Amino acid sequence: MIKRANFLRAAVAVALSASLGGAWAQAYPSKTVTIVIPFPPGGTLDVVGRLLAQKLSTQTGQSFIVDNKPGGVGTIGAMAVKQAQPDGYTLLFAPSTHTTSPMTMKAPYDVIKDFSPVALVAKAPLGIAVNNDVPAKDVKSLIAHAKANPGKLSFAIGSTGSAGHLSTELLRRSSGAELLIVPYKGSAPAYQDLIGGQIDGFIDPILGSSAYVKAGRLRLLAVTSKARVPNLPDVPTVAETIPGYEFYSWYGLWGPAKLPADVVAKLNAEVNKALSSDMRETLVNQGLEISGGSVEEFVKFQREDMAKSQKVINEGKIRAE
């Protein structure tokens, strides 16, 4: 009887040990996590995504690696995440075009149904940058110049439905100025032509134009945020000329649909921890507004931003070519 009791105790201990061992083995993350960025390296999105990946690696003790999958206005990278296992080891770090591109084209995914929101990471005020030969020193004179030359003032857009595109459309509609929209495949070639004088202006996240502005190769007329950007106190907001004008690009983290709630909670907590570290100061110094917050707050923000963007797209009849 004693031997049987000892055997049962030993069996229970082994089972408990195996159970605990399994739980520890499955603790998230227990292996490398891939963060898909659906645009080429080098832009603001890529800079922020790599900083976040580095912080998450340090905090969790597991590697978070960035995999750039450009193409299809971000849809190729998004599809790679949509089709991945919902286990938290393949994530999407994308700009607001992830939610707006499907409004301008037939996308192979549904933003709401096919992805699990994890965290809002940052908002990027945009800057109105112009070629040095444009005879405008501020938004008021830019609008006056555009009205005096209807349809001749050319503005680049990095991609259809991007924050820069919608911001340009909002500027056009709210000012009554007729602008010539010139589409590009990304910000890099747009900046090359802007500096070269092939186009007149470009509305893009501030970080994208900052080096050119500092080098005197472009002129920054205004920012699209509600208030002036702390590291650019002398640059006015568009709202100082056009009351109520406000627009941002923003960056978020998503997983595939049906991502387990505990994994979402873990990732959200780690992102917020990263955003409270020295990463915050780094991004703020580059003109970004740090967001963070709960998953529920991200869901609410995404819903409201999509409604605002849909209105601009509908009124501007914006469709991908």
Nearest of 87, 89, 86, 85 to residue 67 by alpha carbon: 89
**Whole-number mean pLDDT of the chain?**
90
Asked if the model's pLDDT at residue 36 lies above 60, the reply is yes
Q: In the chain, pLDDT over 90 holds for what percent of residues?
A: 78
Asked if the model's pLDDT at residue 299 lies above 70, the reply is yes
Q: Answer whether 33-124+248-316 and 125-240 agree in fold.
A: yes
Task: Express each pLDDT in 99-135 by its tens digit.
Answer: 999 999 999 999 999 999 999 999 999 999 999 999 9
Q: Domain spans of the chain? A: 33-124+248-316, 125-240
Identity of the amino acid at 171:
L
For the chain, the three-class secondary structure string (H helix, E strand, C coil) is CHHHHHHHHHHHHHHHHHHHHHHHHCCCCCCCEEEEECCCCCCHHHHHHHHHHHHHHHHHCCCEEEEECCCHHHHHHHHHHHCCCCCCCEEEEEECHHHHHHHHCCCCCCCCCCEEEEEEEEEEEEEEEEECCCCCCCHHHHHHHHHHCCCCCEEEECCCCCHHHHHHHHHHHHHCCCCEEEECCCHHHHHHHHHHCCCCEEEEEHHHHHHHHHCCCEEEEEECCCCCCCCCCCCCEHHHCCCCCCCEEEEEEEEECCCCHHHHHHHHHHHHHHHCCHHHHHHHCCCCEECCCCHHHHHHHHHHHHHHHHHHHHHHCCCCC
Task: Express each pLDDT in 154-167 by its tens digit.
Answer: 999 988 888 999 99
Asked if the model's pLDDT at residue 9 lies above 70, the reply is no
At residue 18, the pLDDT reads 38
User: How confident is residue 14, by pLDDT bands cut at 50, 70 and 90?
Assistant: very low
Report field, pTM of the whole predicted structure over 0.75: yes
**Mean predicted confidence (pLDDT) in 169-185:** 92
How far lies 290's CA from each of 7, 138, 194, 231, 254, in Å? 58, 27, 29, 14, 17
**Mean predicted confidence (pLDDT) in 268-291:** 93
Residue 180 in tokens: 């010539």
User: How confident is residue 26, by pLDDT bands cut at 50, 70 and 90?
Assistant: low
User: Range with the lowest mean pLDDT among 5-9, 117-121, 141-145, 284-288?
Assistant: 5-9
Residue 43 in tokens: 């832009």
User: Range with the lowest mean pLDDT among 10-19, 169-178, 257-266?
Assistant: 10-19
Asked if the model's pLDDT at residue 42 lies above 90, the reply is no
Asked if the model's pLDDT at residue 197 lies above 60, the reply is yes
**Domain at 125-240, CATH from 3.40.630.30, 3.40.710.10, 3.40.190.10, 3.30.9.10:** 3.40.190.10
Q: Which residues touch 12 (CB under 8 Å, ≥6 apart)?
A: none
Residue 221 in tokens: 């007329």
User: Range with the lowest mean pLDDT among 102-111, 136-145, 183-192, 266-275?
Assistant: 183-192
* Torsion region of 156: left, alpha or beta (phi above 0 gives left; psi -120 to 50 gives alpha): beta
Give the number of other CB atoms < 10 A from CB of residue 269. Answer: 13
Task: Express each pLDDT in 56-76 by its tens digit.
Answer: 999 999 999 999 999 888 999
Nearest of 99, 70, 83 to residue 252 by alpha carbon: 99
Asked if the model's pLDDT at residue 10 lies above 90, the reply is no
Asked if the model's pLDDT at residue 308 lies above 80, the reply is yes
CB contact at 8 A, 36 and 90 = yes
Looking at domain 33-124+248-316, its CATH superfamily turns out to be Bordetella uptake gene, domain 1 (3.40.190.150)
> From CA 92, how far away is CA 34, in angstroms rounded?
9
